[in-house]
Amino acid sequence: MELLKKRILEEGIVVSDQVLKLDGLLNHQVDPQLTMEMGREFAARFADQGVTRIVTVESSGIAVAFATAYEMNVPLVFARRKKTLLADPDALCERVPSFTKGIVTDIMISRQYISPEDKVLFIDDIIANGDAARGMIKIINRSGAELAGFGVVVEKCFEAGARTIREQGVRVESLARIRSLAGGQIAFEE
């Protein structure tokens, strides 16, 4: 998505060879026009898949997941992060280590909002190591729903997340693929 790449070049801040700060468009501020454009792109790529629900993980995935859900005219369900989980027989939970934050969180979706009749499209903002994404995919699988695919705004190709998920047989579509941040330069995959 050329518009997105342009905005990443203009507003992204390379923090290190591994980390690209994208607060201006993904992690702190939301540009509604750009975000709706992302939603249209995901909706187009996964059109005719019979998607019945969009899922994401709070918080930064919610805006683009909403845009996609709006465009596909289906509900959006966001997995919640909980420090301590009260016993809830209806909750599907997975423990997710965060490589970058050095902490462990539990993400959960209630079975009320995801069922074996669903065909689910998982949308997220950034994939790095992919721990959160793999946790989310486990929850979708355990729910009995079918996974149509995974749409992610920014794929860091030099980290293992997207590759390992593709190796599981999941269709991964990213809107911007970053090959390298070396030397403070944002280099996209061709």
Residues that bind ligand G4P (CB under 6 A): 19-22, 27, 57, 59-61, 98-101, 125-133, 156, 161
DSSP 115: -
Which one, 52 or 130, has the nearer CB to ligand G4P? 130
Could you tell me which residues come within 8 angstroms of residue 62 by beta carbon, excluding any fewer than 6 positions away?
A: 56, 76, 78
Other residues' Cβ atoms within 10 Å of the Cβ of residue 88 = 12
Alpha-carbon gap, residue 13 to 37, rounded angstroms: 22
- Judged by CB under 5 A, which of 118, 125, 131, 155 binds Na ion? 125
Name the minimum Å distance from CB 170 to ligand G4P: 14
Angle, helices 32-45 vs 2-11, to 10°: value is 140
Residue 174 is a binding residue for Na ion (CB under 5 A): no
Segment near Na ion (CB under 5 A), from 87-95, 108-116, 118-126, 134-142?
Answer: 118-126
Which one, 39 or 61, has the nearer CB to ligand G4P? 61
Which one, 22 or 172, has the nearer CB to ligand G4P? 22
Beta bridge pairs of residue 176: 154
Percentages helix, strand, coil for the chain (3-state, rounded to 5) are: 35, 35, 30
Name the minimum Å distance from CB 26 to Na ion: 7
Residue 131 is a binding residue for Na ion (CB under 5 A): no
- Judged by CB under 5 A, which of 61, 130, 135, 149 binds Na ion? 61
Alpha-carbon gap, residue 158 to 14, rounded angstroms: 14
Name the minimum Å distance from CB 97 to ligand G4P: 7
Name the minimum Å distance from CB 107 to Na ion: 10
**Residues touching Na ion: how many (CB under 5 A)?**
4
Name the minimum Å distance from CB 62 to ligand G4P: 8
The full 3-state SS of 16-79, as one line of letters, equals CCCCEECHHHHHCCCCHHHHHHHHHHHHHHCCCCCCCEEEEECCCCHHHHHHHHHHHCCCEEEE
- Binding residue ranges: 20, 27, 128-132, 156
